[in-house]
């Protein structure tokens, strides 16, 4: 599975993106879950989201830096070794400074490339292992269209006890078997009913080869809601629920 997470923004991979993620809780509020870039200057900074986006983009780099024996005296030095944007450097320093360089390095080593688990180790994201989430509906519209069609995917679910920090992940089983998937951080939620919307762009847009060609045929889709990273073997990880759907590409570009 190809997991691509853009730091401080939404997942965009092979034409797949998260367009909206909101829920109505028992108080009738509507909140957006990570549906806009993080503003690091906001006083109510969402540290869990910042940590998740940061680690999803850089945890492999950070681990390699540490394993290669780089000598770092502080957060600024470690984050400065990243081959990343200025926004990533700022986020790296922010999270590292909050926990301390020793704790930051220890979490990177222990997390074993699992961004959710790392952020839980750093106490940036809440741990709750008694949670649940049951999918009540999973819809894809339209049901068919030519390559280039924008498909809307929506999952509705309920939680009786609330959830831990986890992920909502979509995997598209393509005709040519090219991996197309994406996901969204699902921060710890109170009991209630929730809806997450995704947008799937099927316009061929290959910046490098190979890429998804969106050939004619049936495309099966799997939706997963997870505590922790989907598929992780680390503590605080489990599959809450899964659902499937499909759409058809009727003509190629």
Predicted local confidence at residue 84, as pLDDT: 86
Q: Check residue 29 and give its pLDDT.
A: 25
pLDDT at 45: 60
pLDDT tens sequence across 190-229: 999 999 999 999 988 777 778 899 999 999 999 999 999 9
Closest CA to 150 of 50, 13, 17: 17
**Placement of tokens 């906001």 in the chain:** 42
CB 163 within 8 A of CB 241: no
Tens-digit pLDDT profile for residues 168-180: 999 999 999 988 9
- pLDDT at residue 117, as a whole number: 97
Across 85-89, 116-120, 138-142, least confident range:
85-89
Q: For residue 49, is pLDDT > 60?
A: yes
Residue 239 has a CB neighbour count (10 Å cut-off) of 14
The mean pLDDT of 34-57, rounded to a whole number, is 63
d(CA 67, CA 233): 22
| pLDDT recorded at residue 207 | 76
Residue 71 has a pLDDT of: 66
Q: Where are the beta strands (DSSP E) in the chain?
A: 12-13, 16-25, 30-32, 134-141, 144-145, 150-159, 166-173, 180-186, 192-201, 217-227, 238-249
| CATH pick for 12-34+128-249 out of 3.40.50.300, 2.60.40.10, 3.40.190.150, 3.40.190.10 | 2.60.40.10
pTM: 0.80
Q: Where are the domains of the chain?
A: 12-34+128-249, 47-121
Please compute the mean of the pLDDT values over residues 93-104 and round it to a whole number: 94
Q: Give the pLDDT score at 33.
A: 29
Q: Nearest to residue 140, comparing CAs of 167, 168, 177, 170?
A: 170
Query: CA–CA separation, 56 vs 124, rounded Å?
Result: 14
pLDDT tens digits, 54-92: 998 899 999 999 888 876 789 999 999 998 888 899 999
């Amino acid at each position: 599975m190809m997991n691509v997470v853009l730091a401080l923004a939404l997942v965009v991979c092979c034409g797949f993106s998260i367009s909206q993620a909101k829920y109505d809780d028992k108080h009738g509020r509507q909140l957006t879950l990570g549906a806009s870039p993080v503003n690091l200057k906001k006083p109510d900074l969402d540290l869990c989201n910042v940590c998740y986006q940061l680690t999803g983009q850089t945890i492999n780099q950070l681990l390699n830096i540490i394993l290669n024996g780089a000598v770092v005296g502080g957060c600024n030095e470690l984050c400065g070794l990243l081959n990343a944007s200025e926004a990533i450097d700022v986020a790296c320093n922010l999270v590292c400074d909050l926990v301390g360089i020793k704790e930051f390095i220890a979490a990177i080593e222990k997390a074993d490339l699992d961004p959710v688990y790392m952020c839980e180790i750093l106490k940036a994201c809440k741990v709750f292992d008694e949670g649940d989430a049951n999918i009540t509906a999973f819809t894809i519209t339209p049901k068919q269209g030519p390559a280039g069609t924008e498909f809307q995917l929506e999952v509705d679910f309920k939680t009786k006890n609330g959830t831990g920090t986890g992920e909502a992940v979509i995997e598209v089983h393509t005709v040519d078997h090219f991996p197309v998937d994406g996901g969204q951080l699902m921060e710890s939620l109170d009991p209630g009913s929730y809806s997450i919307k995704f947008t799937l762009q099927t316009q061929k847009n290959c910046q490098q080869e190979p890429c998804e060609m969106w050939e004619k045929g049936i495309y099966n889709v799997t939706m997963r809601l997870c505590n922790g990273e989907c598929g992780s073997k680390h503590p605080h990880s489990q599959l809450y629920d899964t659902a499937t759907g499909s759409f058809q590409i009727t003509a190629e570009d």
